[in-house]
Structure formats: C-alpha cells, structure tokens
Chain A
C-alpha cells in the first residue's frame, strides 16, 4: 500500500484515539458538572465535588481542543464542512462549552447565594449539552447529511438544521453519550470523595453505566435497519484529497453492517463496549472504583471503535450527493502534512500522557470538605 494511504489510515485511527480521550476525560468532567447539583446538596459539598476535578479539568479540556485541532490539520475539508453544516448545533455546543471554564474559576469567588446557584445551573448546562451534542453528532453523521460541493471546494447545504437536530436516532446517541459521562464523572467522584457524595455518586454512576449499555444495544439494533453507505466502484486509497471526484457510493439498507459482515471479528468491539459498561456498573456496586474508572475508558473505546469500523472509510456521508461523501481517502491533509503531524504527535503524545499522569499522582487522595472550605486556593 502506498505511504499516503497508510498515513490516512493512521490518522483515522488517531482521530479515534482523540475521540476516546475526549469522551473519557472531558466526559468525566462534564459528568461531574451534570451531577453537581445532585451529588452536592449544600455549598460545601458542591465545592468538594468541583475541587475533585479542579486541578485537572483545564488540562482534560485540551482533549476537546486538540480534537478540533487534529480534525483541522488532518482532515481540513471535513473540518470546514462538518462544523459549517452543523452550524446551529456547533454554535450551541460552543456556547455551552465556553461557559464552563468561567464557571469553574468564578463560581466560588463571590459569596452571594444567587451568584453560586446560577453558576451551579451553568455547570448542569455546560456538562449535559456538550456531551449530548457530542453523541448526537455521531448519530446524525450515521444517518448521512445533506450537502454537496461546488467546483471551488465550497460546500453547499441541502437541508435545514431542524431535520437533523431533532431526529430520534441522534437523540438516542446523545443520551448514550450523556449516560457514559455520568458514569465516568460518578466514578471519579467516588474515587476522591467521602460520604455522602460517595454514596450519591455511586447511585448515579451505576445507573449511568446500565443506561449506556441499554441505549448502545438499542442503537445497534436500530442501525441494522438504517440506510448505510457503501463504496460501489474501485477505490484508490491514495487518491488526491478532493471530494469532487474519484468515488462512487451507494446508499443501501443495512449498509453500515457491511464491514461487520465481512470481518466478523469486529463484533468483539461492540461486545467490549457493552461488557465494559455492565462490568463497570458491577464494579462500582462492589466499590472497586479504580477498575471501574478504567472500564469506563474501555466503554468509550468500544463505542467509538464500533462506530468507526461500521463507517470506515466514511467520515461524513452525503445523503444528497453520495459520491461526494467525505471519506478517509478524499478529505485528508496532504501526505507531507500528515507525515509532519505524525512526527509531532509521536514526540508529544507520550510526554503529555506522562505529565498528565504525574499531575493526577500529585493530587491523589481523598478531597475532604473541611479542607476545601479552608483552602483559599481551591474553587
């Protein structure tokens, strides 16, 4: 296989890794945000919950920013097209996302009850909405999006946002993503909080894992009947990255099962996903929170890889002009760009993982409400 094609595949895998990192790390913090008003019944408890992720949320959030940056660098046409086609949704995501850093830093810096209560609601919105949209976007993409390209490479949208915003399959995917984030956030709270936060978090996290499993299975069954996209003509994986020509694509009922039919071993991925969700809930029930946290990572990995393998090589199929669907082959950066980025990632990803782990190590141990309230550096 040509080097360019290999680089494209490597970056498709890297994108998956970034999405898994995003789901696990950002999802965890957003889960804590969503749960904040429920696990903390008074101000001191809420501050305890916030300070558990206090030293880490900012670093974790970079997974999200890097996700955007990596799509921009490795899949520039996908970046411009997907963010634009989903304009209203993306802007809503953005509005809810940017409230969060401010909420963390500002919530506890003034004494008024109204001030703090308002920011607590902001945490709910800025935890729930982004995770919902994150999942729903995958659902929407699986259904295909109405767009086509002009000769210059400018995209044109063929459907209004209401038709993709409010469709049942996307809503299901959105709730699944929220459930997993509640699971992960709950597991983190259990790791580092005492009762009563511990007990409340346990309750929500277990439910989160079970809900996620149910929704994942339901979504899987639903997907059997969704129209899917398949390549019909000859494919040149090393083709110049241009969505205007070089592909022939058909929409086929059950098309998303195509890869699973040809490679039955892929069924291990959804099995891993469901297995991790259920086993994770069981571990939480047994109080084995560390194992449960890592099983959450497995759940995200199982989910993202299942979707990725079902769609491969599609990234965002076009329902109106299927031949112009954005795929791993036609929407990547240049060979040179992908190579450069890979070299940079090879150097920095291990460094990032090591200092992130060190950071968690330094801040290890339970967070006690009494300490939080007396510590002037805490949130």
Chain B
C-alpha cells in the first residue's frame, strides 16, 4: 500500500464535494422545470390559449439560464473521477463507467440536441412537433438522472460486480443487477421528484412575487396554481420514496442508518424513540443530549414493531473479525500478484468478502502496509481500525434532519398554497405569498442536505465495503490540488454571480408577451429580451 498524502485525499474530497454540491444546485431545477414546461406547452397545444405559450416561453428562458450552468458543472463531475480519483476509476470503472457512458448515449445526447431546437425551433416546427421536442428534453434530463443514480447506487450498494485478483479490480458481471439495483430505483425517483419540488417552489415563488406586486396577475395566478398542485404531488412522492430508501439502508448500509439516527447502541423495540434533535459527539462516541419521540423509530425504519436496529458500537464490534480476515485477504492478494500460486488464491478467495476491511486497516498499519504487519501488532491495528467503519455521525445525523424538516415545511406550504389558490383567494394572503417567495432556495438546500446524507453516510467507503475513500484518490501533490481548488472557487464564483444577476433580471422583467395584460403593453415599452429598459417593470 503505497502512501498518498492524506492532505491530498482531504483536498480531493473537499473539491469533489464542492463541485458536486454546486452542480446539484442547478440540476434538480432542470429536472423539474423541463416537465413543468412540457405541461404548460401541452395545455397550450390542446387549448390553443396563448397565455400558456407565454408561460412556457418565459419559464423556458429562466430554465435556459439555469441549464447552462448545469451542463458546465456536469462536465467537471465527469472529469473529476479521472483527474482526482484514479484508483477509484481503475478499481470500479469497469462497472461505474458503463452507466456513465450510457447516460451520454441515451440521455444527454438527446437532451442537449433537442434543447437547441426547443429554444430555436418555435417558428420552424409545428406546434405538435415542438411539444414533442419539449417532452424529449424532459425525458432526456430525467433519463440522465436515472443513469447517474444507477452509477451512484453501484458505489452505495455494489451489486453486479465481483473482485477479480487477476485484474485487481471489480469486474462487471451483470447488467440486470446494475440497472435493477434497488438503491438506484428508489434513489432515482426520490432525487428526480426532489427536483420537481425545487421547480415547483421556483415557479410558485416567482409567481408569488408578481402577485405581491400586482403584475402579470393572470399569468402569475395560473403559474402559481399549476406549481402548487405539481408541488404537493411531488412532495408526497419525495417523502414516500425517502422512506423506501431508509428501509433499504437498514438492510444494506447499517452504518449509514445508525449514523442518521444517532444510534450508538442497538435499539430495543418497540419503545425506542426517534431522536428529533441531539448533539452527537464523534470523538466520545455518544450523544450529549437527546430529544425524542417515543415508539416511532422501530416502525419508521424497519416497518415492524419488533426488529432491532443495530447500533454503532455493536457494528464496530462486528467489524473486528472482518478487518482481521481482510488483512489476510489483502496479504494473500499481494503475494498472489507475484507468485500466482493456487495456495495464495485459495486463501484470498476464503476472505474475499472482507478484502475492503483489510484495505481499511492500511491507515493504521506500520508504514501503511497491511501486507506486512508483525504478528504482535495485528490486534492493535484491528482495534485502531474498528472506529473507522463509521461515518461522521454529526454531519450525517443533522443533514438528514434538515432535509426531513424542510420537506415537512414544503408539504405544509404546498398544501396551503394549493388550497388558497383553488379558492382564488391568493391575493388576500400576503403572508403566504411572501413565505412562498422566500422559500424558493429551500428545496435546493434540502436536496443538498440529501446528497450530504447519502454520501457522507457512505463513508469511509467509495465503493461500500470494498474500497476505502482514502485509497481512491490520485497520487498527486498538494500543489496540484491547491491550483485546481483556487480555479474552481474563482470560476464558480463568477458563474453564480452571473447566474443570479440574470435570474433576478429576467424574473423582475417578467414575461415579455403577456397576452392577458393589454394595459402593461400600452403603457410600458415592450421590453426586448436582451435589453433592460430602465422603464421596464
């Protein structure tokens, strides 16, 4: 096990988190907005009412501003696996690369090709053809998410691959298991629907802004109602699917679920409380205070009243023998690379399933070398490695809670908004409109917390149970990482400044054609899309 500077690993992780979280600010909105655009345009094509075309075009413009950065930052994500995670790419690329390439072939090509026609084809295509294009863009962006999450699910629950001592990597062996990985299915729906929530809140919030100002009232009221209804359905779906994911983690990633629930000791069903708030202390391995709701935890996670949930201390204890066996596996594997003897292969195969736990011990082995630990030090190495199997509990616990609390807030807000909007009493509810407006960034924040829960909760692994994160990085020097980090921070800061400037500008400007508001057109000069007239609203 050759040495990689731990600072480089940390900086690589930091860079990946930074770029992924940034990418994830724009993608969810894209996922949902494309479908909302398709819905608006459908109404236009079916009823022929101009206002719905105005809606599709106006929200389409905001979509475009958002989409550009989504694409740009997506390129970064694809590159980073190669530039910063070479060992991961080598170890898991056979399987991970496949869904990524299929994403390009099946989804991203379609989305990107037709998005051009969606913007430029209004006058060149029939209504129906343009509508079909809009649906293809929506389908493309959502299929894109599907394949990316299939790839991600492979990291969280590697199914459909096995480790091969000849090639020293995970060999892809089942396309069906890759695609129908239960984690992928649940996470895809959970994540894409979270994107619909973001889009619904975005449209609802900006519409609320117009209603508060008394501008574009017809346009805004329609957009608002559509978004509120879309939002309530999406929020229900997001919560339901989140529950499915929790159940899956209970089965396959017990360390993640224990950390999410701040559960240091195995639960005692059926009375175990669900911890509402606590201060988990990773160093002392305990919670400083707990406020819980009795009875809730067991049915919430296990969907039963009697199954226990394993706590972190018990998981640590159980990992001891696996680490010990893993050290044997890794040692045999290394010998096998030189000798190619059947004896070493047999020994490796015996402990193959624990190989990852052996690799995890590298950090605590003398000279970082698991394959050469003196007999009398093995116990100490195993003991030192045991706590490493746990993710950062504080981060996992709280990011999960922020996500959940926010989703409950969305549920309430969408439900009330839909009700008030259907009663047509929106404009009397200034407070509600303000809350909608100020909630625009919250679903994006919630999806970010969701990403942190899933990925921080997966630690210490890049490929769960097989490859530790600290071994996955490229063997760079710190200077390389500083160079790229500074570049990303500068570039992304410029991007976000430009994006926010344009978003605010065009949102304030409002729909350029507002067929329901002849008044506005009479008095104000019709703003061209690219000019900001000082007199424009």
| A binding-site residues for B, Cβ under 8 Å | 51, 54-59, 61-62, 64-66, 68-74, 76-77, 79-84, 87-88, 90-91, 94-95, 97-102, 104-106, 108-111, 150-157, 240-242, 244, 333-334, 336-337, 340-341, 344-345, 348-349, 352, 355-356, 359, 362-363, 376-378
- Using an 8 Å CB-CB cutoff, how does the interface string of B175-189 with A read, 1 for contact, 0 for none? 100000000000000
Q: Across the interface, which residues of B come within 8 angstroms of A77, CB to CB? A: 89-90, 93, 169
Q: Across the interface, which residues of A come within 8 angstroms of B85, CB to CB? A: 80
Identity of the chain B residue whose Cβ is nearest the Cβ of A108 in the assembled complex: B530
Q: Across the interface, which residues of B come within 8 angstroms of A97, CB to CB? A: 75
Residues of chain B from 88 to 127 with CB closer than 8 A to chain A in the complex: 88-98, 100-106, 108-110, 112-117, 119-122, 124-125
User: Is residue B240 within 8 Å, beta carbon to beta carbon, of the partner chain?
Assistant: no
Q: When A94-B79, A340-B98, A355-B110 are in contact, do A349 and B480 touch as well, CB less than 8 Å?
A: no
User: Is residue B501 within 8 Å, beta carbon to beta carbon, of the partner chain?
Assistant: yes
Q: Across the interface, which residues of B come within 8 angstroms of A64, CB to CB? A: 75
> B82: which of A80, A108, A240, A345 is its contact (CB, 8 Å)?
A80
Q: Across the interface, which residues of B come within 8 angstroms of A150, CB to CB? A: 2
Minimal beta-carbon separation of B57 from chain A (angstroms) = 8
CA distance in complex: A14, B91 (Å): 23
Identity of the chain B residue whose Cβ is nearest the Cβ of A58 in the assembled complex: B112
Q: Across the interface, which residues of A come within 8 angstroms of B115, CB to CB? A: 58-59
Q: When A81-B86, A95-B491, A99-B491 are in contact, do A341 and B101 touch as well, CB less than 8 Å?
A: yes
- Using an 8 Å CB-CB cutoff, how does the interface string of B479-512 with A read, 1 for contact, 0 for none? 0100110010001000100110110011000001
Contact B105 A101 (CB under 8 A): no
Identity of the chain A residue whose Cβ is nearest the Cβ of B330 in the assembled complex: A152
Contact B110 A110 (CB under 8 A): no
Flag the segment in B61-69, B196-204, B284-292, B456-464 that touches A: B61-69
Contact A155 B86 (CB under 8 A): yes
Contact B168 A152 (CB under 8 A): yes
Q: Across the interface, which residues of A come within 8 angstroms of B119, CB to CB? A: 54-55, 377
Sample of 5 more A-B contacts, CB < 8 Å, known A58-B71, A109-B506, A153-B168: A54-B120, A59-B113, A80-B86, A87-B484, A356-B113
> B93: which of A76, A108, A340, A378 is its contact (CB, 8 Å)?
A76
Identity of the chain B residue whose Cβ is nearest the Cβ of A365 in the assembled complex: B124
Minimal beta-carbon separation of A239 from chain B (angstroms) = 9
Main secondary structure of the interface of A (DSSP, over half): helix
Flag the segment in B28-36, B413-421, B468-476 that touches A: B468-476
User: Is residue B76 within 8 Å, beta carbon to beta carbon, of the partner chain?
Assistant: yes
Q: List 6 A-B contacts (CB under 8 A).
A: A72-B93, A76-B89, A101-B71, A152-B471, A155-B86, A244-B168
User: Is residue B439 within 8 Å, beta carbon to beta carbon, of the partner chain?
Assistant: no
Contact B502 A109 (CB under 8 A): yes
User: Is residue B84 within 8 Å, beta carbon to beta carbon, of the partner chain?
Assistant: yes
Q: When A73-B101, A91-B484 are in contact, do A65 and B78 touch as well, CB less than 8 Å?
A: yes
User: Is residue B146 within 8 Å, beta carbon to beta carbon, of the partner chain?
Assistant: no
Contact A241 B167 (CB under 8 A): yes
Interchain residue pairs A-B with the least CB separation, the first 4: A76-B93, A83-B82, A80-B89, A73-B97
CA distance in complex: A335, B337 (Å): 21
Q: Across the interface, which residues of A come within 8 angstroms of B532, CB to CB? A: 110-111
- For B, the interface residue count at a CB cutoff of 8 angstroms equals 90
CA distance in complex: A83, B90 (Å): 12
CA distance in complex: A59, B115 (Å): 8
> A80: which of B64, B65, B88, B168 is its contact (CB, 8 Å)?
B88
User: Is residue B81 within 8 Å, beta carbon to beta carbon, of the partner chain?
Assistant: yes
Q: When A82-B82, A87-B474 are in contact, do A359 and B116 touch as well, CB less than 8 Å?
A: yes
Contact B75 A55 (CB under 8 A): no
CA distance in complex: A54, B119 (Å): 9
Q: Across the interface, which residues of A come within 8 angstroms of B89, CB to CB? A: 72, 76-77, 79-80, 83
Q: Across the interface, which residues of B come within 8 angstroms of A377, CB to CB? A: 57, 119-120, 122, 529
Contact A376 B68 (CB under 8 A): no
Identity of the chain A residue whose Cβ is nearest the Cβ of B69 in the assembled complex: A102
Minimal beta-carbon separation of A340 from chain B (angstroms) = 5
Identity of the chain B residue whose Cβ is nearest the Cβ of A331 in the assembled complex: B90
User: Is residue B334 within 8 Å, beta carbon to beta carbon, of the partner chain?
Assistant: yes
Contact B65 A106 (CB under 8 A): yes
Minimal beta-carbon separation of A140 from chain B (angstroms) = 15
Contact B87 A80 (CB under 8 A): yes
Q: When A152-B87, A154-B86, A156-B2 are in contact, do A363 and B124 touch as well, CB less than 8 Å?
A: yes
Q: Across the interface, which residues of A come within 8 angstroms of B75, CB to CB? A: 64-65, 94, 97-98
CA distance in complex: A95, B486 (Å): 11
Identity of the chain A residue whose Cβ is nearest the Cβ of B362 in the assembled complex: A152
User: Is residue B318 within 8 Å, beta carbon to beta carbon, of the partner chain?
Assistant: no
Contact B480 A87 (CB under 8 A): yes
Q: When A336-B173, A376-B512, A377-B119 are in contact, do A81 and B90 touch as well, CB less than 8 Å?
A: yes
Minimal beta-carbon separation of A112 from chain B (angstroms) = 9
Contact A91 B491 (CB under 8 A): no
Contact B105 A345 (CB under 8 A): yes
Identity of the chain B residue whose Cβ is nearest the Cβ of A94 in the assembled complex: B79
Contact A87 B83 (CB under 8 A): yes
